[in-house]
Amino acid sequence: MLSGDMAKPLLTCQNADGDLSSPASVGTAIGILGSGDFARSLATRLVDSGFKVIVGSRNPKRSMNLFPSSAEVMPQSDAVKKAEVIFVAVFRDHYTTLCELTDLLVGKILVDVSNNTEINHHKESNAEYLASLFPQCTIVKGFNVISAWTLQCGPRDGNKQVLISCDKQEAKAAVGAIARTMGFVPVDMGSLCAAREIENVPLRLLPFWRIPFLLALSLFICFYIYNFIRSVLHPFLMEHKNKFYKIPIELVNVTLPCVAYVMLSLVYLPGVLAAFFQLYYGTKYRRFPDWLDQWLQHRKQIGLVSFFCAAMHAVYSLCLPMRRSSRYLLLNDAFKQITAGKDNAWVDEEVWRMEVYVSFGIIALGLLSLLAVTSLPSIGNALNWREFSFIQSKLGFAALLVSTLHTLTFGWRRAFDGTQYKFYLPPTYTLTLLVPCAIILAKVVLFMPCVSRKLLRIRRGWEKGKCAQFTLSNARNPSYEYSHGEGTSIV
Amino acid sequence: MLSGDMAKPLLTCQNADGDLSSPASVGTAIGILGSGDFARSLATRLVDSGFKVIVGSRNPKRSMNLFPSSAEVMPQSDAVKKAEVIFVAVFRDHYTTLCELTDLLVGKILVDVSNNTEINHHKESNAEYLASLFPQCTIVKGFNVISAWTLQCGPRDGNKQVLISCDKQEAKAAVGAIARTMGFVPVDMGSLCAAREIENVPLRLLPFWRIPFLLALSLFICFYIYNFIRSVLHPFLMEHKNKFYKIPIELVNVTLPCVAYVMLSLVYLPGVLAAFFQLYYGTKYRRFPDWLDQWLQHRKQIGLVSFFCAAMHAVYSLCLPMRRSSRYLLLNDAFKQITAGKDNAWVDEEVWRMEVYVSFGIIALGLLSLLAVTSLPSIGNALNWREFSFIQSKLGFAALLVSTLHTLTFGWRRAFDGTQYKFYLPPTYTLTLLVPCAIILAKVVLFMPCVSRKLLRIRRGWEKGKCAQFTLSNARNPSYEYSHGEGTSIV
Amino acid sequence: MLSGDMAKPLLTCQNADGDLSSPASVGTAIGILGSGDFARSLATRLVDSGFKVIVGSRNPKRSMNLFPSSAEVMPQSDAVKKAEVIFVAVFRDHYTTLCELTDLLVGKILVDVSNNTEINHHKESNAEYLASLFPQCTIVKGFNVISAWTLQCGPRDGNKQVLISCDKQEAKAAVGAIARTMGFVPVDMGSLCAAREIENVPLRLLPFWRIPFLLALSLFICFYIYNFIRSVLHPFLMEHKNKFYKIPIELVNVTLPCVAYVMLSLVYLPGVLAAFFQLYYGTKYRRFPDWLDQWLQHRKQIGLVSFFCAAMHAVYSLCLPMRRSSRYLLLNDAFKQITAGKDNAWVDEEVWRMEVYVSFGIIALGLLSLLAVTSLPSIGNALNWREFSFIQSKLGFAALLVSTLHTLTFGWRRAFDGTQYKFYLPPTYTLTLLVPCAIILAKVVLFMPCVSRKLLRIRRGWEKGKCAQFTLSNARNPSYEYSHGEGTSIV
């Protein structure tokens, strides 16, 4: 049994305040309006976290059985009187039904937990609409990113964030404390106008992946058609050879590395552009143009799509010798060799070319896998800034270099061979080399002492035409070249 | 030096209360009974977190050197007087030795940190046994899931959860606050009867993986025997051909995809059954039968085992052409072709069949790898519900579809070829097609407007024979079909 | 509107104290000295977290525009008067410029957020240097591991730790509370002398990977040269055969498995040594020699490097049949076979050898991938101790066993074939077998009942020559064999 003296401080210690009436205290009354799935799961979780839950229902008798037994279910007007913080678990369309409670709600904190069914469905966010209906209440947006399921199970994996926004710091802090007591991690998103963004969060469908995916898809289609014309259509029209069997595997396998290689170069291009931008304007404080900013922020995703294409290219390549077509061609070659009486098929140049380019390909894939693994949140978070930039920038650039060598040795002398220009179209690999070679050249320029020294000065805060400022920024302020994306980037 | 006015609030601010006697305050006295490894590590951690540690030992002089110097070691009877919260770091078998302290312990909070050596070793949990010995104390179960090693190092990765259960909210909150101050994440597991479950946690051996693993193993054995009879035994008995060399690789390679494919279909079967269950009873509030519930909760693991088998199948397949056997067969074919004077070995149908089924196989593997990657906790946690269900349900079903195409094109017309029915046994691939095709058919039925509309209504809370309820449940309440498992599921 | 009664407790509830003047309270004044990038980002984050920010600048007018509008910028002497906790965001070289504020700073908490540009650059840490300049202040080291970028964005992924050290618990707790309010996870690193270590954290470059990487590199070089002599140089000098085409792929492919296999055995060797050490001294409380301790702590990294080499070996092997050289050799073999009139190339022993060793290789790779996946922090953290040790110790040892079988069946009878001893050098695989076979033998010895029982007793706390102690250590105290590394280890 707890002694009387102990009871009080214990009662409050988890909730970080010295006043029992504060909403975060164990045993504090929390109101809920609504009786849907979310309301029920919320009530369960609040009860489990030690709060006293008061549910306001328009039909208390019917709702009674839906809620945990320790939650008190009563008419809405009674419920709102008993709690200072009230969760509004009602559809936006039914907010107006609460207007009869206006007088009782004065001064209360209303937590809007609602979601929409479409992104930017309404002109104003649900929370702002609620605020306009109840100007004398403090509206807090929050908990909408948590599912009823997570509420019911409890946040066992300890990673669930609750995005909260509110115009009043105190109310925000109060709801944040409730979230923390429930086991969630409150994240302050600023004032109530952020509610729009918060309401869009659960409706987002991989927003950062859209552009990289579409980019990869369009590159794939372009290169595929180009390769189809050169490898299938040209032999069919010119030499009446049926090479259509190449469509499912061989064409895909020459297209994938093009996509992977171009995408990989697009990961490093914006960094180079940003460096030249900074050199040109002589400052790091000038904002990049929006397209460059967007590009810098998508580098991780572009890099991972590039890795996926490279890995698929590896699998396709490894499948080549197991196919029937490869077997039949080999048998036919054996037949030809024997009928020709040639006892040695060996072509030294061909052997060396293939040994070398396959070798570079494997090394590039190995480097890209390391980059991909360090892009995993749980690994990236364990790296400090220096390690992260070493891996993503140094190793990543090494991967680009080795990929370039892979492409060059694969191409060998074909670019200078007139017969390779089917329909006057140059071999595909020559097209893909353009951007990467430009980047490598630019990196060489940026690496020259005179340029690199100036860039370093700019990134340490030096500005053209201003006197030197000694500010504590080096070593910790990620230079814009590498850090503009999220913390865990493939670049 | 801290000014006097500052000192007090600072002293308490991390511990969220305004009373210095509260257990979570820096400087508060915490008692420990016992002097084993765990007691020592606990003392070290408590001292490092700013608590005053008082160790009760039956032989204080001998124990003195084992504990950090700032911990006070004294006889048990003295120690228990000085602290309100006391960790009992003693074996269950020695609980009775504490009975002499009964009077001194009245009203104290005792934290039972003990573990058992076997699951459900004793009839009642250690904590409940302790509670029965000291009815006038408040018993809290906790910290048993933390190892002495983690205690000593401190929870650097910030992920370590402390499961806590207790019948009194205040005591639970107090111990939770201590855990939080020590850097752990307290998780409320409810009342003391949960101690049994908590004590079993450190003894569990991958409980969620047992059924999927055994399922995969038995499927593997059945299919392996079936394939052995068809591919090795039949040629040996009927044609006196020695194909036993197929045992280590080829037989495994035809068995693995069967297991992977059937397991993948078993991931989607329970969702379909659940949908029909809900349609039949016209409500989502009726509990599923236990077997279905269990099945729904194991989908992630079943899916990952399926992916592992599929990946192994890919590696085995890629190894095929490098083997001696493949080389010898090719050489023999070349010999036959030349002695027959056939200048072209090409069989167009065979070429197309293989190009197409290998291609589908690679695509299916690519889709499954995406699913497997998003099953990683650190990635799954970063997805919102819509993204998660898009990947696991839409992409996962696409993987099932492509796998079905892979199987169909692999099988081609063999199902209709009488010579393939060795010992009247149909080709293996026809057997594996049964469940997946049933699921695809059922999905088509569920996708029909009339059915899907009714299902949607049910999942939004509509019930047969009841008037419509407008509850805030859509968009956030994961429908039962997809969410009944944990948050990070492969389905 | 908040009622007056509600306002006060709400105001404080997130900050866990009952006094508004406490630094962690929303609205509390926090001082910042400096106006660089870090100071600005810090100010932004503090303002966003609800603190009142007072910036002390030597040129307030110029600095004004650099800070968020709600931060007050004023002369340094005014600023330090208004805050109890002051962040010193100034370079170490400029600490002395603050000496003019000495009188005003008496009793304040100064947070040193500085970093160095090199590891152990100065004899004493920046924080200790600051402490020597301001003996009447309390110096707290912290926030240096956070980048300006993370400060600006806010710790969205919820994983960012702030390492804090200070000689006074109260000041540490105060700064810890500020960090927590800002959304970071404060980690107590002990007294101020830990500042040196904390200042080195952002400068570290994968310290745990250096030794394993160098080890793998030197093993690779040695084995590569050895294989080069045996497979390329010997045929060239003795038989005048040009095998130089083997350099890029085939030689790498025979070298990688040697590195992988030896590294894998080095993961298990220290555990065996530790067991014999404990058996020899008859106690687990005697410290291991430093080299063994270091080795035990690097096992995870050694294991992952081993896995990387094994995976690369798999990719190289799978590439073998697609190469031109393999094609040409096959065509030449076909030519020879036909001119010799041999209708069957089949060699049963060769077929079986290859089927079996490839099969073991795939299984070993599968086991190693499982180990690698469970080494991911987000997965390792979800396992309890028993599961972790089952996977890393049991499955890992199984992988070592299967790798040994892979090596033995690959080698077959070549070790006993005199012609294989080129330049009297034994086949490479015989060299790699030494350590693993020794480990397997040692494990067999340790598994014998008499030895294993003694070892178990020692690991439960029994000591040679002392009476039995019954301490609560089993099942939770990871025995030194397996746990001495971090929680998430491949072993």
pLDDT digits (tens, 9 = 90+) for A152-161: 766 555 457 7
Please check whether residue B387 touches A, CB under 8 A: yes
Closest among C217, C150, C158 to A158, alpha carbons compared: C158
| Residue in A5, A14, A204 closest to B16 by CB | A14
pLDDT tens for each residue of chain C, 491 residues long: 333 333 322 222 333 333 333 345 556 899 999 888 889 889 988 887 778 899 998 888 888 888 888 889 999 999 999 999 999 998 888 899 999 999 999 999 999 999 888 887 888 899 999 999 999 999 999 998 887 777 876 655 545 678 899 998 888 888 988 887 777 777 778 889 889 889 988 888 888 999 999 999 999 999 999 999 999 999 999 999 999 999 999 999 999 999 999 999 999 999 999 999 999 998 887 889 999 999 998 999 999 999 999 999 999 999 999 999 999 999 999 999 999 988 888 999 999 999 999 999 999 999 999 999 999 888 887 788 888 888 988 999 999 999 999 999 999 888 888 888 888 889 999 999 999 999 999 999 999 999 999 998 888 777 777 654 444 443 333 333 333 233 322 22
B139 in the same domain as B183: yes
For residue C2, count other CB atoms closer than 10 A to its CB.
Answer: 19
Closest chain B residue by Cα to residue A51? B169
Q: Which residues pair with C186 in a beta bridge?
A: C162
Please check whether residue C325 touches B, CB under 8 A: no
Separation in Å, CA of A456 to nearest CA in chain B: 34
Q: What is the DSSP letter of A65?
A: G
- Asked if residue B488 belongs to a domain, the reply is no
CA dist., res. B78 & res. B65, Å (int): 19
A259 in the same domain as A172: no
- Asked if residue B279 belongs to a domain, the reply is yes
B282 in the same domain as B151: no
Per-residue confidence band for A36, with pLDDT thresholds at 50, 70 and 90: confident
- Asked if residue A467 belongs to a domain, the reply is yes
Task: Output A13 or C315, whichever has higher pLDDT.
Answer: C315
The reported pLDDT for the residue numbered B416 is: 86
Q: In chain C, which residues have their Cβ closer than 8 Å to the Cβ of B377?
A: 378-379, 382
> Which whole number is the average pLDDT over A272-296?
90
C156 in the same domain as C48: yes
- pTM of structure: 0.87
Q: What is the DSSP letter of A422?
A: B
Closest chain A residue by Cα to residue B482? A149
Per-residue confidence band for B484, with pLDDT thresholds at 50, 70 and 90: very low
- Asked if residue A490 belongs to a domain, the reply is no
Closest among A148, C434, A425, C309 to B483, alpha carbons compared: A148
Domain that holds residue B62: 21-203
- Asked if residue A249 belongs to a domain, the reply is yes
Which of C163, C476, C483, C484 is most worth mutating to test chain B (most B CB atoms within 10 A of its CB)?
C476
Name the strands in the sheet holding B52-57, side by side, starting at the edge strand that comes first in the sequence. Answer: B72-75, B52-57, B29-33, B85-88, B109-112, B138-141, B161-166, B185-188
The tally of domains found in chain C comes to 2
A285 in the same domain as A181: no
- Write down which residue in B203, B227, B250 finishes a domain: B203
C426 in the same domain as C318: yes
The reported pLDDT for the residue numbered B25 is: 53
- Asked if residue C1 belongs to a domain, the reply is no
- Write down which residue in B180, B203, B226 finishes a domain: B203
The reported pLDDT for the residue numbered A467 is: 53
The reported pLDDT for the residue numbered C475 is: 35
For residue B280, count other CB atoms closer than 10 A to its CB.
Answer: 10
Look over chain A and give the mean of its residue pLDDT values, rounded to a whole number: 84
The reported pLDDT for the residue numbered A14 is: 33
- CATH classification of the domain holding A66: 3.40.50.720
B445 in the same domain as B385: yes
- Write down which residue in C156, C174, C203 finishes a domain: C203
Please answer yes or no on whether B2 and C109 come within 8 Å at the CB atom.
yes
Q: In chain C, which residues have their Cβ closer than 8 Å to the Cβ of A478?
A: 147-149
CA dist., res. B134 & res. B131, Å (int): 5
C139 in the same domain as C125: yes
Separation in Å, CA of A28 to nearest CA in chain C: 12
A463 in the same domain as A402: yes
B101 in the same domain as B177: yes
- Asked if residue A410 belongs to a domain, the reply is yes
- Asked if residue C445 belongs to a domain, the reply is yes
B146 in the same domain as B213: no
Segment 241-300 of chain A within 8 Å of chain C by CB:
none
Segment 85-124 of chain C within 8 Å of chain A by CB:
89-91, 93-94, 113-117
The reported pLDDT for the residue numbered C477 is: 36
C219 in the same domain as C152: no
The reported pLDDT for the residue numbered A186 is: 78
The reported pLDDT for the residue numbered A222 is: 97
